[in-house]
Amino acid sequence: EIVLTQSPATLSLSPGERATLSCRASQSVSNYLAWYQQKPGQAPRLLIYDASNRATGFPPRFSGSGSGTDFTLTISSLEPEDFAVYYCQQRYTWLGTFGQGTKVEIK
Amino acid sequence: DVQLVESGGGLIQPGGSLRLSCAASGFTVGSNYMSWVRQAPGKGLECVSVIYSGGSTYYADSVKGRFTISRDGSKNTLYLQMNSLTVDDTALYYCARGHMVGTAGFEYWGQGALVTVSS
Check CB contact under 8 Å for B44 and A98.
Answer: yes
Burial class (CB in 10 A: 0-12, 13-18, 19+), B65: exposed
> Mind listing the pLDDT tens digit for each residue in A2-43?
999 999 999 999 999 999 999 999 999 999 999 999 999 999
Beta bridge partners of B95: B36
Going residue by residue through chain B (119 aa), what tens digit of pLDDT does each one get? Answer: 999 999 999 999 999 999 999 999 999 999 999 999 999 999 999 999 999 999 999 999 999 999 999 999 999 999 999 999 999 999 999 999 998 888 889 999 999 999 999 99
Minimal CA separation from A84 to chain B, in Å: 13
Across the interface, whether the CB atoms of A87 and B44 are under 8 A apart is answered yes
DSSP string, B21-79: EEEEESS-GGGS-EEEEEE-TT--EEEEEEE-TTS-EEE-TTTTTTEEEEEETTTTEEE
CA B109 to chain A, closest CA, distance in angstroms equals: 7
Q: Which of B47, B94, B111 sits opposite A95 (nearest CB)?
A: B47
